[in-house]
Amino acid sequence: MSHIQKNFIDLQEIFYHLEEEKKVYAIIKLPYNFPAYDVGSDLDIFCYDIYEISSLIVAQLQKKIDSSLTIKVTDNKQQLYIDILDKHTIHFRFDLYGALPSYKNVNIKEAFFSSVLENARIVQRGEVYVHVPSLIDEAILRYIEYHEWYVQRPDKIKHIHYLEQKIEENALDTDLLFDKLHYYIALPSVAQREEKSHNIVIKYALYFKEMVQKVLLHVRKNGLEETLHKIKGRVFK
Amino acid sequence: MHALFQKSRYDAILIWGHGMKYFHNILEDIRGNENFKIVKIEKYKPKNIKKFVKAMYSFDYAPYWHLKAKTKYLLQTEKEVCFIFIQNKDPQEDYLDEGSFRHKESLTLKKFKEYLRDKYNPYENGKRTHHHVVHATDSEEQTQKMLYFLGYTQGVAIFQKIHSVVSLPYYLNDYNLFHFLQIDVQNLYAKIVDGESWDNSFTKIVPLQETPHYLGLCKDMDLYEEYIEKFLGGALQEDYSVQRYETLVENFNYLQEPYANSFILVERVDDKYIILDGLHRASCYIMQGKKEIKVCHIFKRTL
């Protein structure tokens, strides 16, 4: 059982110190309940110097270390995680980026990262001021995240709902949004990767594998009965 | 030059064999100069003093034949020298001499080198001889070459600050996983040096309470002093001194501002947490009667 209470980490105090030290950062997709947080959640932060920011965060968090609470930092050079662990469970995570994450489905110019930081705005949450991206940058980041993950994570549709809502509220200048979006991103060209083998056994094995995949897809879409009917039709036509 | 454009650099002061009897005095003189910070102390026993002298002066701006007569006295000196690498915080570089002898030099270090020579060079008939007890680098390039000579292929880059979530000393690089946790002080161990002399020693792992550092604090500081006098420049290459240790003890407040991130760094072997950096601080902390301590367990993970 967890001995750490909800909102045990004082995010307000941490960000108060970052503000006091005049550090350049931006919290991406600032949670609605900040400076409160959900247990197990994370906070994405863009910053120029992940080491400087992480040092300040750890300097505040270390006061909380005891026999159950530990802090684990994983340094992947351009990205750094600070995990607050309750025994072996993640209670909260800071996810610091020193550069844009690498996306597979979208090409983004590296300069977008500094654009996000340079154009960040300050908002007040609770008793603390925090830096967040401009509305346009936030919209672009959410759009990119949706585009990157919607196949695996249907819940990412929430980002599109966010954009729709902002557009409806006239909170977003769509002309500016599309200008910036088209300036900084490009969709990668889709090139079919085709490798053909001259070995007849491999050729048939690949054909068989492809057929099985097609059948499974058909079953998922149309059900077993419909699929069997279709196979029967193909075989005996 | 405007202060904005000045940067610190790394230099080396080489104590020749006949100056080694002043080894600790010279270290004290360097510590007393606010422009310098000792970053590494390494003793060396040249097999062939002639070749060694030639190698050292091959880094010089002047050709060796020019220095040959000047350095002849060194051939008779003891075969034990010491490299003291320093961070020169205010080099005040300038170009000196004319023609092919024109070269870049730190005026701060030049002045200090003369001070050491005035103090420790042999005197004859009340006059300082040219049998210099120390040699100092003119430029950072010469320091680089001295480090190459000692086998440090990265040169002065080894001293550059490691960017990390915690303060890491230069010899602990490439760590990428940091686990901050609280442990029982009974689980703290340390690697200490043992053996006959600085050039005939080995390391062993002992409980922190058995280190000369801890015993120096709770029993007799002479134990610590003997330890560093014996191994400084050998296996101990950081700037250790009784005075520095006593200053640390007086003002010690672990993990308090502005050192809230200066964790004692450990590695784990079985159930033992072995200190990699911070043995002096850990000893001070335990002397304060603490039973548990917050440490940073560092390790490397292949990315």
The model's pLDDT over B165-216, given as tens digits with 9 standing for 90+, comes to 898 888 888 899 999 999 999 999 999 999 999 999 999 999 999 999 999 9
Is the model's pLDDT at B222 over the cut of 70?
yes
What pLDDT does B2 receive?
45
- What is the model's pLDDT at position A149? 82
Q: Which whole number is the average pLDDT over B243-254?
A: 92
- Using an 8 Å CB-CB cutoff, list chain B residues near A75: 164-165, 175-178
Are residues A70 and B177, on separate chains, in Cβ contact within 8 Å?
A: no
Query: What topology is assigned to A11-186 in CATH?
Result: Beta Polymerase; domain 2 (3.30.460)
Q: Are A73 and B261 inside 8 Å of each other by CB? A: no
* Enclosing domain of residue B262: 177-299
Report chain A residues whose CB lies below 8 A from the CB of B165: 51, 54-55, 58, 73, 75, 80, 82
**Which chain B residues touch A80 with a CB distance below 8 Å?**
165
Nearest CA in chain B to A53: B165
Task: Calculate Rg over the CA atoms of chain B.
Answer: 21
Residues B82 and B200 in one domain: no
Share of chain B above pLDDT 90, in %: 72
Which candidate from B175, B176, B180 shows the least CB-CB separation from A70?
Answer: B180
The encoded tokens of residue A124 equal 């007040």
What is the nearest CA distance from A182 to chain B, expressed in angstroms? 33
User: Domain for residue B172, yes or no?
Assistant: no
Asked if residue A28 lies in contact with residue A44, where contact means CB atoms within 8 angstroms, the answer is yes
pLDDT range class, residue A82, cuts 50, 70, 90: very high
Q: How confident is the model at residue B6 (pLDDT cuts 50, 70, 90)?
A: low
Residue in chain A closest to B176 (alpha carbons) equals: A75
d(CA B42, CA B5): 31
Question: Measured between CB atoms, which of B164, B177, B294 is closest to A74?
Answer: B177
pLDDT at A2 over 70: no
Same domain flag for B7 and B155: yes
CA B96 and chain centroid, separation: 29
B111: in domain: yes
Q: At what angle do helices A135-149 and A111-118 cross, to 10 degrees?
A: 140
Q: Is residue B166 domain-resident?
A: no
B166 touches chain A (CB under 8 A): yes
Tens of pLDDT along B25-40?
A: 999 999 999 999 999 9
- Give which of B177, B180, B185, B291 to mutate to test A binding, by max A Cβ within 10 Å: B180
Query: Would you state the pLDDT for residue B303?
Result: 56
Confidence of residue B4 (pLDDT cuts 50, 70, 90): very low
Please tell me the predicted confidence (pLDDT) of residue B302.
66
The confidence score (pLDDT) of residue B1 equals: 44
- CB proximity B4 to A under 8 Å: no
Q: Kindly indicate the confidence band of residue B3, based on its pLDDT and cuts at 50, 70 and 90.
A: very low
Nearest to B178 among A59, A60, A73 (CB): A73
B154 and B7 share a domain?
yes
Residues of chain A in contact with residue B261, where contact means CB-CB under 8 angstroms, are: 55, 58-59, 62
Nearest Cα residue in chain B from A60: B260
Residues B86 and B218 in one domain: no
- Is B61 domain-assigned? yes
Residue A213 has pLDDT above 70, yes or no: yes
CA-only gyration radius of chain A, Å? 24
In this complex, do B180 and A71 lie within 8 Å of one another by their Cβ atoms? yes
- Average pLDDT value for residue range B157-171: 86
The residues, ordered by sequence, that sit 6+ positions from B140 with a Cβ below 8 Å of its Cβ are: B9, B10, B11, B156
Q: Is residue B80 part of a domain?
A: yes
A contacts of B182 (beta carbons < 8 Å): 65-67, 70
pLDDT of B94: 82
Where residue A197 falls among pLDDT bands split at 50, 70, 90?
low
**Domain residue ranges in chain A:** 11-186, 200-235
Predicted confidence at residue A79, as pLDDT, reads 94
Q: Examine residue B171 and state whether it is found in any structural domain, yes or no.
A: no
Q: Cβ–Cβ of A62/B182 closer than 8 Å?
A: no
Cβ contact, residue pair A58, B301, below 8 Å: no
Residue in B165, B177, B294 nearest the CB of A51: B165
Q: Return the residue of A nearest to B180 by Cα.
A: A71
Residues B23 and B119 in one domain: yes
The residue-averaged pLDDT of A224-232 equals 84
Residue B134 shares a structural domain with residue B58: yes
Chain B residues with beta carbon closer than 8 angstroms to that of A59: 257, 260-261
More confidently predicted of B53 and B187: B187
Number of domains chain B is built from: 2
| Mean pLDDT across B2-12 | 72
- The reply to whether B217 and B148 lie within a common domain is no
Assess whether B183 and B291 both reside in one domain.
yes
pLDDT of residue A189: 63
Instruction: Tell me if chain A has a CB within 8 Å of the CB of B181.
Output: yes
Instruction: Report pLDDT for A36.
Output: 93
Tell me, what CATH number does B150's domain have? 3.30.70.141
Whether the per-residue pLDDT at B235 is higher than 60: the answer is yes
- Of A168-172, B44-48, B179-183, B240-244, the one with minimum mean pLDDT is A168-172
Interface test with B, best of A74, A80, A96 (most B CBs within 10 A): A74
pLDDT tens digits for range B72-114: 888 888 889 999 999 999 998 888 777 766 778 899 999 999 9
Q: Out of B165, B301, B303, whose CB is closest to A55?
A: B165
Instruction: Tell whether B92 and B182 lie within a shared domain.
Output: no
Determine the average pLDDT of the residues in A89-117: 92
Q: Do residues B77 and B4 make contact, with C-beta atoms less than 8 angstroms apart?
A: no
Give the residue ranges of DSSP H helices in A1-43. 11-20
- pLDDT grade, residue A56 (50/70/90)? very high
Write the Ramachandran bin of A22: left for phi over 0, alpha for psi from -120 to 50, otherwise beta.
left
Specify the pLDDT at position A102. Answer: 85
Instruction: Name the residue with higher pLDDT: B265 or A144.
Output: B265
The answer to the question of residue B168 being in a domain is: no
| Inter-chain Cβ pairs, chain A and chain B, closer than 8 A | 60
B169, part of any domain: no
Q: pLDDT at residue B5 above 60?
A: no
Q: What band does A212 get if pLDDT is binned at 50, 70 and 90?
A: confident
- Comparison of pLDDT for A140 and B163, the residue scoring more: A140
Same domain? For B152 and B198 the reply is: no
How far does chain A reach from its first CA to its final CA, in angstroms?
A: 63
Beta carbons of B177 and A51 less than 8 Å apart: no
The answer to whether B172 faces chain A, any CB pair under 8 Å, is no
Same structural domain, B24 and B145? yes
- B179 CB neighbours in chain A (<8 A) are 70-73
Cβ contact A136:A172 at 8 Å = yes
The whole-model pTM stands at 0.82
| Residues B133, B38 within the same domain | yes
Q: Tell me, what's the pLDDT at B66? A: 66
